[in-house]
Structure 1
Amino acid sequence: MRRAVKNRFSRTILAAMGIAVFGMMPRVAAADNLADALIGAYNTSGLLEQNRALLRAADEDVAISVAALRPIIDWTARVQRNLVENRTGGLVSDSQTSTFFTGISLQQLLYDGGASQLAKSAAQETVLATRQSLLQVEQSVLFTAVSAYMNVLLQEENVVLRQNNVRVLGEELRASQDRFEVGEVTRTDVALSESRLAGARANLADAQGALITARAVYVNAVGNEPGKIAGQPRLPQRPASIDAAVAFGVRNHPSILAAQHQVKAANLTVERTRKSLGPNVTLRADIGLTNTYGNSNYNDTASAGVLFTQPVYAGGRLAATIRRSMATRDSIKANLLNVNKDVIQAINEAYVRFETAGASLTASNERVRAAQVAFDGIREEATLGARTTLDVLTAEQELLDAQTAQISARAERSLAAYQLLSSQGLLTAERLGLAVQIYDPTLYYNLVKGAPAKVSKQSKDLDRVLEALGKK
């Protein structure tokens, strides 16, 4: 009778472990892989749309600065009432006239010391800085998608582990009950198995809740519900050394490049401010028709002149404007130094994180192997009466902890690999080769940089681009 119970105990544990091993096998069919998550994030991110709009606004600043160098033509209409009091000797006479004027006025900047040209150059540097800032936002969006994907995968694997744990402990409880009936174990052993099973069910509920939360985060990051997750992504190629990673990141990271262009724009702004305090020459011309009410007189009028201005004193505002632009420039230069340091620190941290995660995964794999061997041995010894129920439950818990650490270390290594990419400025749709329509920042800029008139062909082309973007 006892031998039959031992054999049944052995078979039930083996069956439960078979379920656990099967549950840990990699899934073959999958609907969503990491590339799908990255594509979804790139195509649906509102943050990317927001910053693309900011880039188009910066493009328009170039057009505005170009327009400042061109003639300004206005059509005007004016109704005017004139009251004149004439005194000749002791005689006083009043005259009143009402006139209507309509015509065209023209204003053209002739000389401002190059301030307008410097404003245009500064606007162009700001465009280049904004493009790099857009790339950094893109990196942030894609890394958020990577994190969301890896978290869903981790929580799914954790749920599978917890489900298998519940099954194993359920079989252990039934085996304990069978052995109790024949007097091999005490009621305490059965109660211990019941307690472990109840704890496992509570942990499974927590894991299922964490998976629901992870899926909600995925929807927010990617734009759609996750399908059947494909599994661990292939790791990107890592740099040869930490020094190589730092050298590449310092040269290519979009945050550093954006800060460099901001410094150039600030230097140009200081020069423009200084030039704007010099002489300014403007051509003004008017041509039109004047009608005096009360008679049938019409006068054709035309005038032209050159206006020369030179700021002399404005209560201290002129010098303050220069000092303000210089202080802004100095703050932007300091920011470049900070950004450079932050990028170097981020690369070092990401590289160490990846190396640590790799070592942790290697140790976790060995831990799982050893825990599996220990569990198998203790389980077999328990069937022979050499081990207690508590020994079996403790070994099973150790195996579960090892498997949990293993899946966490595997997810951590993948996340660290993509963080290392991002820290170098490599986590972009173009560099990853994603199957998406890459946003071309030069398309809109090339259409607006010449400040096309509303009736021009270029303006019509621009309207079509805006319609394609869904902005009309």
Structure 2
Amino acid sequence: MTILRRFGALALTGLLCLPALPSRAETLTDALILAYRHSGLLEKNRAVLRAADEDVAQAIATLRPIISYTASAARQYQFPNDGTSESISPLIPGQRNSDDSFNSASFSISADLLLWDGRQTALAVDAARELVLVTREALTAVEQQILWDAAQAYLGVLDAQAFVELRQSNLQLLSRELQAARDRFEVGEVTRTDVAVAEAALASARSLLATSQGDLDLARAQYVEAVGQPPGNLAPTSALPQTAATLEAAQAIARQTHPTIRRDMRSITVAELNVERAERAVKPTIRARSSFTIGQDFEETGSIGLEMSGPIYRGGEITSIYRQAIANRDETRADLHITVDDVLLQVAQAWAQLAVSRARIDASQLEVRAAQVAFRGLQEEATLGARTTLDVLDAEQNLSDARANLISAQTSEVLASFQLLVAMGLMTVEHLNLGIVTYDPSVYYNAVRNAPSRKVSPRGEKMDSLLRALGKN
């Protein structure tokens, strides 16, 4: 299994050139940690998981005795009626006179225990446990998305900052070119057209700078959404995640670790358990029942016995449910097939994008070097009168475009590396080794899996403390 190196503030030559960093800059690791702690989506899905944990507790509870009580008290009235007239109260119009009345009261306790149902309830417990594992994989997928969004936001800010600085540098250079063109125009070395061309180029540079500054503002807003706070002094990163040596190796890892694939595999298990439950629906159910009652005159009655029940004919409902369970199982199997194909495609796309980005970097570095040589040469030739201002500005634009292409290619390389990590199912706090305490889903599950009664037992009190620690009380 590959391991991601811890991100640090290492300079990457030519990538997102920034001013000298202070002693403590925000790193990509810091951003990922903040995003993990800030995410409301993670909190939501953790609550969804805890609800799934409670499904296990409720399923287990059906295997235990069900004890209930009933208490009643009433005053009953009887009215004489000779069949021809009614006695009407002289005090209250319409109120019948009570010829006789008496009180009644009773209290009863009953108990019910499932003894055997063909393992239908036991299979329901197994299915609930598997659904917990399904939900855990879904939570891992959300965690991957949160960290991926944070990485994109971090690199987006760095990329936007680099473009702003590039446009500012270009603006300063064009300002000097315009001043030089005006000076040469004053002494008659160039025409007014050369000055106008330089002025147009400077105006275009101001427009590009304004666009880049707007992109930076948008990138900062996206960073706040993903991370939870405005970006500070972000450090460039060159510590790319180690993924796999070959595409085949990356796809093999994805088959084993991608949370969506693992989720669908668990879903198939749930579907198979539901098929078995539907198959056993024709089995009889045996219950033990008992009751104890205290009547009006404190007479005591009680009963205890066994009850067996089962279906005889339900109009074809049972067989329909069984066929439906089989169809749902086949659907989940098809879902797994589709998911595997989709994940493998994502791995292949990320792998190809990474290769393309690295090839673009090599080509862009050559392009920048060539454009620099051409620009300097044209500047020298222009001072000798062999080149026009337009030639110099064209060369400067080519150099600016080459530098922009290099920045874009270097950013794409980092993003493609993380995208490949996501496709492999490894964009998690644990795999990234971020060094923070993470949410442990087993803690809540272990506390509720045996269906403890709150406020009744030491285990229930422990459950109360856990809920308070989670901030849910």
Note whether the superposition's TM-score is higher than 0.5. Answer: yes
Give the corresponding residue for 1:50: 44
User: How far is the alpha carbon of 1:42 from its aligned partner?
Assistant: 0.4
User: How far is the alpha carbon of 1:22 from its aligned partner?
Assistant: 12
Match of 1:32 among 26, 32, 47: 26
In structure 1, what is the Cα distance between the partners aligned to 2:136 and 2:168?
Answer: 48
Whether contact under 8 Å (1:23, 1:161) holds in the other structure is: no
Q: Bigger shift: 424-433 or 451-460?
A: 451-460
Give the corresponding residue for 1:71: 65
User: How far is the alpha carbon of 1:407 from its aligned partner?
Assistant: 0.6
| Residue type at the aligned position of 2:400 | L
In structure 2, what is the Cα distance between the partners aligned to 1:367 and 1:75?
Answer: 86
Structure 1 residues 104 and 312, CA gap change in structure 2 (3 angstroms)? same
| Residue type at the aligned position of 1:395 | A
Whether contact under 8 Å (1:269, 1:325) holds in the other structure is: yes
Q: Bigger shift: 357-366 or 324-333?
A: 324-333
Q: Bigger shift: 164-173 or 22-31?
A: 22-31
Give the corresponding residue for 1:462: 463
User: How far is the alpha carbon of 1:97 from its aligned partner?
Assistant: 6.9
Q: Deviations over 1:396-433 (max 9, x none)?
A: 00010001011110110000000111111110001101
Match of 1:132 among 127, 131, 137: 137
User: How far is the alpha carbon of 1:99 from its aligned partner?
Assistant: 3.0
Fraction of identical pairs, as percent:
45
Any idea what SS the aligned residue of 2:286 has? strand
Q: Bigger shift: 455-464 or 351-360?
A: 455-464
Gaps of 5+ in 2: 1-13, 79-99
Any idea what SS the aligned residue of 1:301 has? strand
1:199 has 2:204 as partner: yes
1:406 has 2:374 as partner: no
- With the length of structure 1 as denominator, give the TM-score of the two structures: 0.89
* 1:263-282 matches, cutoff 5 A: 263-282=268-287
Give the corresponding residue for 1:244: 249
Any idea what SS the aligned residue of 1:298 has? coil
Whether contact under 8 Å (2:251, 2:344) holds in the other structure is: yes
1:440 has 2:434 as partner: no
In structure 1, what is the Cα distance between the partners aligned to 2:384 and 2:127?
Answer: 84
1:146 has 2:140 as partner: no
| Residue type at the aligned position of 1:464 | S
User: How far is the alpha carbon of 1:29 from its aligned partner?
Assistant: 5.2
Gaps of 5+ in 1: 1-19, 85-94, 292-296
* 1:283-294 matches, cutoff 5 A: 283-291=288-296
* 1:380-459 matches, cutoff 5 A: 380-454=380-454, 455-459=456-460
| Residue type at the aligned position of 1:226 | P
Whether contact under 8 Å (2:141, 2:259) holds in the other structure is: yes
Whether contact under 8 Å (2:36, 2:143) holds in the other structure is: yes
Whether contact under 8 Å (1:232, 1:411) holds in the other structure is: no
Any idea what SS the aligned residue of 1:32 has? coil
1:181 has 2:175 as partner: no
In structure 2, what is the Cα distance between the partners aligned to 1:24 and 1:463?
Answer: 51
Q: Bigger shift: 385-394 or 312-321?
A: 312-321
Q: Deviations over 1:135-186 (max 9, x none)?
A: 1111011111111111111100000001111111111111111110000001
User: How far is the alpha carbon of 1:25 from its aligned partner?
Assistant: 6.4
| Residue type at the aligned position of 1:313 | Y
Whether contact under 8 Å (1:41, 1:145) holds in the other structure is: yes
| Residue type at the aligned position of 2:127 | A
Give the corresponding residue for 2:337: 337
- With the length of structure 2 as denominator, give the TM-score of the two structures: 0.89
User: How far is the alpha carbon of 1:76 from its aligned partner?
Assistant: 1.4
In structure 2, what is the Cα distance between the partners aligned to 1:128 and 1:23?
Answer: 45
Any idea what SS the aligned residue of 2:261 has? helix
Give the corresponding residue for 1:7: none
Structure 1 residues 24 and 64, CA gap change in structure 2 (3 angstroms)? closer
Whether contact under 8 Å (1:79, 1:99) holds in the other structure is: yes
Structure 1 residues 317 and 78, CA gap change in structure 2 (3 angstroms)? farther
Higher share in helix: 1
In structure 2, what is the Cα distance between the partners aligned to 1:26 and 1:363?
Answer: 27
Query: What root-mean-square deviation, in Å, do the aligned CA atoms of Structure 1 and Structure 2 show?
Result: 2.1
Structure 1 residues 424 and 61, CA gap change in structure 2 (3 angstroms)? same
Give the corresponding residue for 1:308: 308
In structure 1, what is the Cα distance between the partners aligned to 2:18 and 2:72?
Answer: 85
Q: Deviations over 1:325-380 (max 9, x none)?
A: 22211111111111111111111111111111111111111111111111111111
In structure 1, what is the Cα distance between the partners aligned to 2:398 and 2:365?
Answer: 13
In structure 2, what is the Cα distance between the partners aligned to 1:23 and 1:299?
Answer: 93
In structure 2, what is the Cα distance between the partners aligned to 1:48 and 1:366?
Answer: 44
Aligned residues: 439
Give the corresponding residue for 1:471: 472
| Residue type at the aligned position of 2:465 | R
In structure 1, what is the Cα distance between the partners aligned to 2:151 and 2:465?
Answer: 34
In structure 2, what is the Cα distance between the partners aligned to 1:21 and 1:351?
Answer: 21
Q: Bigger shift: 321-330 or 208-217?
A: 321-330
In structure 2, what is the Cα distance between the partners aligned to 1:213 and 1:174?
Answer: 34
User: How far is the alpha carbon of 1:104 from its aligned partner?
Assistant: 1.6
